[in-house]
Amino acid sequence: EMLYEKYVKLRDEANLTDYKVAVDTGISKSTFSQWKHGKYTPKIDKLKILADYFGVDINYFLEE
């Protein structure tokens, strides 16, 4: 799974939108859009924020 697909799975399971996640985490909505279109790959600090936000271990995003 791609990183973005893992994020989408968590987001959808939590019944959230990119906008809501952006507001709650401080990661801009445009970042998610660029990520979706493959123009951006999140750095570890952003992945850590998302992992904490969704209550998963950062390894959820990092493992293949």
Kindly report, residue by residue over 22-47, the tens digit of the pLDDT: 999 999 999 999 999 989 888 999 99
CA-nearest of 46, 51, 13 to 32 is 46
Provide the pLDDT for residue 1.
65
DSSP the chain: --HHHHHHHHHHHTT--HHHHHHHH---HHHHHHHHTTS----HHHHHHHHHHHT--THHHH--
Provide the pLDDT for residue 7.
96
pTM above 0.85, yes or no: yes
CB 47 within 8 A of CB 62: yes
pLDDT band at 64 (very low <50, low <70, confident <90, very high): confident
Mean pLDDT for the stretch of residues 37-63: 94
Q: Which residue has the tokens 């999140």?
A: 42
Mean pLDDT for the stretch of residues 1-19: 94
